[in-house]
Structure 1
Amino acid sequence: MRTAILASGRGSNLQALIKAYQSGSLPIRIVAVGSDSPGAGALMRAEEAGIPSRVFSINQYLHRQAQEADILNWMGENEVELLLLAGYMRVLSPSFMREVPFPILNIHPSLLPAFPGLHAQRQALEYGVKVSGCTVHFVDEGLDSGPIILQEAVPVLHEDTEESLSQRILAVEHRLYPEAVRLLALGQVKRSGRRVQILQQEELR
């Protein structure tokens, strides 16, 4: 699957995806990386991997719709079949979602539907939960509300800070996101409404 990735920050999940892609464990081809931040570390990671990148800084556009139209054109030019959000900090508009005919995936640092949005790890600590984790999900028109593909729990320790919990969750993210992408690309992800089933290889025959 020809895959584009959008990222806003340092790009550690992007790096995990690139590493899995370069090792041959992902049946995808990462054809482009985009960012809404000119200084994003993700852009440097793409350059080091030899993947073409492009900046869609919101300051370059008169309005959000123009930015999203540019992203849509960019994906069309690259014949994209799968879009992955890897720390992309902008919510895609409903009109954008309606224009995209292929899957969009995201990873979020909580066990959704708990603690959507920003600072999920801080939300978990403030609420006092004993278990948090991360979720790979399809992106829909809501905020971190799409059908769930994979989840993995991470215990919340009494001495945890937002930083320490974030780091432990991130280590799981780096493993879980490539696995979800692999399953999707192999046709093992079956979606029916909000329910997602992971098929075994023998069920595909």
Structure 2
Amino acid sequence: MKINDAVERIDGVVANCYSLKIGDVTVLVDSGTRSGGKKIIDYYERSGGKPDVVVITHHHADHIGGLSEIVERFHPKVYVPDLELKIVSGEEKPPAPKSFIGRIIARSLKFNPVKAIVPASKLDVPGIEVMATPGHTIGSTSYILDDFKLIFSGDAAVESGGKLVINKTFTYEINGAERSLETIASMKGHTVLPGHGNPVKI
């Protein structure tokens, strides 16, 4: 699904993943489940391109499950929320969601650790701003493409019924998630490209 001339949502992936072009740099936002990773690789191989940079919004397996395969195939530079580096690298176990259903489902979703990662705070792609939006996970991070007034929110803000909401089932800390949602929702004139659901213009 084409968002604009610079941004496309990659079809067929469980959690939304986006490919964007900034100058000569191709950036992938999130990397889907394990099966989604294969679809992302197919997407780039069909287009004859590759991601130079991957930015991760949070550590949940539907957003990083395909990362190890993508790294092995394309060798991009990978930026991960600072507080979640040890989770993505496999050095620490991820904190469980607070809800019982969330904990059950989280146990069934796995990902292969990736060691070659960089803190999101070090992101140096011109035109992308990093914004901490914790609560859904401990280090949940959004990325702002200001020239196009776009916010890649991951699951800090998802779409339901045309509105921005938080997914309480899989959220680690509800109060923090609500504050982050308020921050995103205050950015009038921007369009949110969420981890689940359709774009929402604020």
TM-score, normalising length: structure 1: 0.35
More helix by share: 1
Structure with bigger RCO (C-alpha 8 Å, 6+ apart): 1
